[in-house]
Amino acid sequence: MKSSNNQNHRIAKLIFGSVYPMYVNKVTAKGRTQAELDEVIHWLTGFDKAELQKLIDDKVTFETFFERATLNPNAQLITGVICGYRVEEIEDPLVQQARYMDKLVDELAKGKKMEKILRTADQKK
């Protein structure tokens, strides 16, 4: 997927802390917990609860958020459609990473088991 520079800029400049409460609402409305959400974010980015809170408090953008993240090596196992695009076909790294996060949040909200969401080693293709 080729995304427009406008979309890339919009995602890059979004404040992570403004989106995080929406993630929390989405998963808790479906019976999951904020702790599970934080576990999923930790798996994808390497940020623990304290680091995550600091990033929220510092009002970092998605661009800064993902620049500071250590993306999980199994992140490329995240596939499927999110926001009308196949995540594995997104060319812009920042947009793809943001969509990885969206996909994981969706899977959590849909009730998938954590070991499936976290792409454990036995699920490699």
Residue 12: inside a domain: yes
Residue 119: inside a domain: no
The predicted model scores a pTM of 0.89
CATH number of the domain to which 70 belongs: 1.10.8.290
In terms of Cα–Cα distance, which of 79, 62, 82, 71 is closest to 116? Answer: 79
Q: What does the pLDDT profile of the chain (125 residues) look like in tens digits?
A: 444 567 677 889 999 999 999 999 999 999 999 999 999 999 999 999 999 999 999 999 999 999 999 999 999 999 999 888 899 999 999 999 999 999 999 999 999 999 999 998 555 44
Residue 120: inside a domain: no
Number of domains in the chain: 1
The range of the structural domain enclosing residue 75 comes to 5-114
Residue 48: inside a domain: yes
3-class SS at 41?
A: helix
Residue 121: inside a domain: no
The pLDDT of residue 83: 82
Residue 125: inside a domain: no
The pLDDT of residue 121: 58
Query: Is there a contact between 15 and 61 (Cβ–Cβ < 8 Å)?
Result: yes
